[in-house]
Amino acid sequence: AAYERMLARVERSRVPGARGRVAVLHASAPSEADLLCARLRRDDSLQLFVNEFGPVMEAHTGPGLVGLAWWWDPTP
Protein backbone atom coordinates (compact mmCIF):
# COMPACT_ATOMS: atom_id res chain seq x y z
CA ALA A 1 0.00 0.00 0.00
CA ALA A 2 2.93 2.36 0.64
CA TYR A 3 4.06 2.09 -2.98
CA GLU A 4 0.56 3.00 -4.16
CA ARG A 5 0.53 6.07 -1.90
CA MET A 6 3.94 7.21 -3.17
CA LEU A 7 2.92 6.78 -6.79
CA ALA A 8 -0.37 8.60 -6.17
CA ARG A 9 1.50 11.56 -4.66
CA VAL A 10 3.70 11.81 -7.73
CA GLU A 11 0.62 11.79 -9.93
CA ARG A 12 -1.28 14.35 -7.82
CA SER A 13 1.64 16.77 -7.97
CA ARG A 14 1.88 16.58 -11.76
CA VAL A 15 2.42 19.91 -13.55
CA PRO A 16 0.70 19.94 -16.96
CA GLY A 17 3.22 19.96 -19.79
CA ALA A 18 6.21 19.50 -17.51
CA ARG A 19 8.65 16.61 -17.63
CA GLY A 20 8.92 14.65 -14.42
CA ARG A 21 12.27 13.81 -12.86
CA VAL A 22 11.99 11.00 -10.31
CA ALA A 23 14.73 9.69 -8.05
CA VAL A 24 14.08 6.20 -6.70
CA LEU A 25 16.16 5.77 -3.56
CA HIS A 26 16.73 2.59 -1.56
CA ALA A 27 18.64 1.21 1.41
CA SER A 28 20.01 -2.18 0.33
CA ALA A 29 16.74 -2.90 -1.46
CA PRO A 30 17.45 -2.92 -5.22
CA SER A 31 14.64 -5.38 -5.99
CA GLU A 32 12.06 -3.18 -4.30
CA ALA A 33 13.43 -0.13 -6.12
CA ASP A 34 13.08 -2.05 -9.39
CA LEU A 35 9.40 -2.68 -8.62
CA LEU A 36 8.77 1.05 -8.26
CA CYS A 37 10.79 1.79 -11.40
CA ALA A 38 8.71 -0.67 -13.39
CA ARG A 39 5.54 1.15 -12.38
CA LEU A 40 7.03 4.58 -13.11
CA ARG A 41 8.36 3.52 -16.53
CA ARG A 42 4.79 3.22 -17.76
CA ASP A 43 4.77 7.03 -17.98
CA ASP A 44 6.96 8.28 -20.83
CA SER A 45 7.00 11.81 -19.39
CA LEU A 46 9.14 10.68 -16.44
CA GLN A 47 12.91 10.46 -16.35
CA LEU A 48 14.12 8.05 -13.67
CA PHE A 49 17.25 8.03 -11.54
CA VAL A 50 18.07 5.20 -9.13
CA ASN A 51 20.49 5.45 -6.25
CA GLU A 52 21.12 4.10 -2.76
CA PHE A 53 20.57 6.04 0.43
CA GLY A 54 23.79 6.76 2.26
CA PRO A 55 24.99 4.66 5.19
CA VAL A 56 23.69 7.16 7.76
CA MET A 57 20.12 6.84 6.48
CA GLU A 58 20.38 3.06 6.42
CA ALA A 59 21.79 3.04 9.96
CA HIS A 60 18.69 4.89 11.16
CA THR A 61 16.08 2.99 9.14
CA GLY A 62 17.64 -0.39 8.51
CA PRO A 63 17.81 -2.10 5.14
CA GLY A 64 14.70 -2.24 2.99
CA LEU A 65 13.77 1.45 2.93
CA VAL A 66 12.55 2.68 -0.46
CA GLY A 67 11.54 6.22 -1.28
CA LEU A 68 10.91 8.69 -4.06
CA ALA A 69 11.94 12.26 -4.65
CA TRP A 70 10.64 14.15 -7.66
CA TRP A 71 10.27 17.49 -9.33
CA TRP A 72 8.57 18.79 -12.46
CA ASP A 73 10.76 20.51 -15.03
CA PRO A 74 8.72 22.95 -17.14
CA THR A 75 11.44 23.20 -19.81
CA PRO A 76 11.08 20.77 -22.73
pTM: 0.87
- When pLDDT is averaged across residues 15-24 and rounded to a whole number, the result is 95
d(CA 57, CA 62): 8
The Cα-based distances of 34 to 22, 51, 70 in angstroms read 13, 11, 16
Phi, psi angle pair for 62, to nearest 5°: 85, 165
- Residue 75: per-residue pLDDT: 80
Instruction: Report percent pLDDT > 90 for the chain.
Output: 82
- When pLDDT is averaged across residues 44-68 and rounded to a whole number, the result is 93
- Residue 76: per-residue pLDDT: 65
**Angle between helical axes of 2-12 and 30-40 (0-180°, round to 10):** 40
